[in-house]
Amino acid sequence: MNTAPSQRPANRLAGETSPYLLQHAHNPVDWYPWGEEALARARAEDKPIFLSIGYSACHWCHVMERESFEDEDVAALLNRDFVSIKVDREERPDLDHIYMTAVQMLTGSGGWPMTVFLAPDQRPFFGGTYFPPDNRYGRIGFKVLLERVATLWADKRADIMKSAEEIVRAISAHAAARPPAQGSLHGKLVAQAADQLKQTFDARWGGFGDAPKFPPNGALHLLMREFARGGEEPLLSMVRHTLDHMARGGMYDQVGGGFHRYAVDEKWLVPHFEKMLYDNAQLSMVYTEAWQLTHDPFYREIARETLDYVLRDMTHAQGPFFSSEDADSEGEEGRFYVWSHDALLEVLGEEDGNRAAAFWGATAEGNFEGVNILHVPLPTDTFAKQEGTPPDRLRDQIARWKERLLEARATRVRPALDDKVIAAWNGLMISAFARAGLAFGEPRYVEAARRAAHFILSDMVRDDVLHRTWRGGTAKHPGYLDDYAFLAQGLLDLYEADTHPQWLEAARAWTDRMQREFRDDAAGNFFYTSDTLHRDVLVRSKASYDGAEPSGNSVAAHVLLRLAALTDSETLRREGEAVLQAHAAHMERMPHGLFNMLAALDFLIGPVRELVFAGDPKDESWRALSREVGATYIPNRVIAYAVPGVDTPDHAIWKGKTPVDGKSAVYVCENQTCRAPVTSVEALRAELGGNQ
């Protein structure tokens, strides 16, 4: 008989800060966090390591915990024959990268929870993902697996170690592999990638490929860039069709704002209900850019609702942003978000409830396990026309329905919140708030970015080292390439929205540190780990391809090129170009994994607009000029500020930039060659050429 978790003594995970690790602190498994204590015990007792990697918002991680890690028979097997280590992949992405590569090599696929068996020297010899407690679903049961592995370790040690050696050799070769030297950097690579996207585009529902459908952030950014360069209308149509269907689908939280992780179906209707900070950061940036390009108010609405969701539910009182919200509540995935038809009528009343149900596609039968995932089958204007209601009036009514439903939903049991702060993801969110603040003329968004940046630079830096995570007053784990690159990008975006040079100086400083710690001088690109900060891993890997987040190498390249444009630094430009050159052949052969790298290439090819503001940011004329720049889609641009009385860097872009006849002015430049300054919105609009 299993003992209730609350009655068990805590294991070693009780001293950790990760909510995911703390979820396992009362398992009967004798868990260790990753570290020398566990590794030393495995060596001393000559036991294999059972390594389990997951994250707080992972549905099947919770299932495996309930089924196996809470089971005292399973725990007895683990405690007898293994040293068990639990890792939060969001805290230790380096370990996740290495052992996910091993699992993919062993099984052909991967995912979480990740289950890996290691020799005491950390070399993997067997792995997989979710295992049920007993044989089912065509999978071997976890208890059977543990007994087999223990027997093999005792009786077939030589075979296991040979297999481990081969796996490590393959991982090392994969990590050390340099991209093919062949390949040149040219604008056709971006156009070719856009053409390939046409081949996989879902003309009915938007997106690319079949279900499940993940938000194609990098692809949409790239298509907008290519449309702006060449004006090819089908590219913009692909973007709009995808954005419209994602935002009208169940993947978008129609009541509270913000996006779920992905859709399990082709229609974007049924989501995997977890909400991740990095998704909402990237998607709010995509919708902000789409508004700049089209001025469709729907895209601004979705961007703002997403950012407001983050401010309401995902922001720490001190300013930084939390990591995720779980998919499950009360033991059921999606329970917090779904609605019965009767519940809508109960909250909104019969008349409004029936109209809201029609608008959001809710029926008595339901569209998901007897209840409804709210979505928008018809665009608002189309629905208003069918109903004979003025569109603006309908929008006001929808806003009131959302307020009342959100208030009612607040009485439900919320999904668990992973409230740790991750530097890289906060960097993305700082970018999102800063860009939206500039685009929409919204000071509170700039303030949100500013507060988060202040927090990271004060509370997550120790001895000049940026740390990956923070929770409860404790910063842990030296940062990885993503943490440095995404933070530097966020600081650059914040400088462009806030005007204060401290953010530009900080971006340059952390970029310099990133170069020292992570750059592979021989290849020209960046390792994921530092050889001085991360010493407890098998190999130094590189992350070149985009996943759920853009690759650290692509963001690093873009940061270097933006800083080069601002500082007139040929050295930085060459270093940014070297990252792109290292991936040129892959961009040509496999562009689908390198959309963010291709966007950086688009910046390198240019032309890059250099916009220099001169004057007083408090003047209304300055604010009007800033609103015009913010509302214009200019993907390849940098912004600099020359404010009287404020020290500016000693670089060419700032020299000679002064107000004109006492009026704030904007100098529009390309390649450090500036045209005559403009002081009116109309003249600035003419200089910018609309969205070109």
Domain parsing of the chain, residue ranges: 5-176, 337-411, 421-605, 609-688
Residue 153 C-beta-side C-alpha neighbours within 13 Å? 22
Q: 507 Cβ partners below 8 Å, 6+ apart? A: 488, 489, 491, 492, 495, 559, 563
Residue-wise pLDDT tens digits, 565-623: 999 899 999 999 999 999 999 999 889 999 999 999 999 999 999 999 999 999 999 99
Just give the CATH number of 421-605. Answer: 1.50.10.20
Mean pLDDT of 392-396: 97
151/155 Cα distance (integer angstroms): 6
Q: Which residue has the tokens 């068996």?
A: 117
Output 139 or 29, whichever has higher pLDDT: 29
Residue-wise pLDDT tens digits, 207-264: 999 999 999 999 999 999 999 999 999 999 999 999 999 999 999 999 999 999 999 9
Instruction: Check: CB of residue 133 under 8 Å from CB of residue 71.
Output: yes
133/528 Cα distance (integer angstroms): 35
676/420 Cα distance (integer angstroms): 49
CATH topology identical between 5-176 and 421-605: no
The answer to whether the bond into 607 is cis (omega within 30° of 0) is yes
pTM of the full structure: 0.95
The fold for domain 5-176 equals: Glutaredoxin (3.40.30)
pLDDT for position 176: 62
**4 pLDDT band (50/70/90 cuts)?**
low
Produce one character per residue of 54-73: b if its CB has 16 or more CB atoms within 10 Å, e if not: bbbbbbebbebbebbbbbee
Are β-strands 124-128 and 271-272 bridged in parallel, bridged antiparallel, or unpaired? Answer: unpaired
284/511 Cα distance (integer angstroms): 25
Instruction: Check: CB of residue 22 under 8 Å from CB of residue 65.
Output: no
Of 497, 492, 512, which is closest to residue 630 (Cα–Cα)?
497
Q: 95 Cβ partners below 8 Å, 6+ apart? A: 34, 53, 87, 89, 537
Angle between helices 423-440 and 443-459 (to 10 degrees): 160
Residue 122 C-beta-side C-alpha neighbours within 13 Å? 16
List Cα–Cα distances, 579 to 162, 178, 559, 572, in angstroms: 36, 12, 11, 11
39/36 Cα distance (integer angstroms): 5
Residue-wise pLDDT tens digits, 65-108: 999 999 999 999 999 999 999 999 999 999 999 999 999 999 98
Sheet holding 324-325, edge to edge: 275-276, 324-325, 417-418
Instruction: Check: CB of residue 651 under 8 Å from CB of residue 568.
Output: yes
Residue-wise pLDDT tens digits, 526-559: 999 998 989 888 888 888 899 999 999 999 999 9
pLDDT for position 648: 79
Reading the block at residue 492, the tokens are: 């650059």
pLDDT for position 192: 94
530/592 Cα distance (integer angstroms): 28
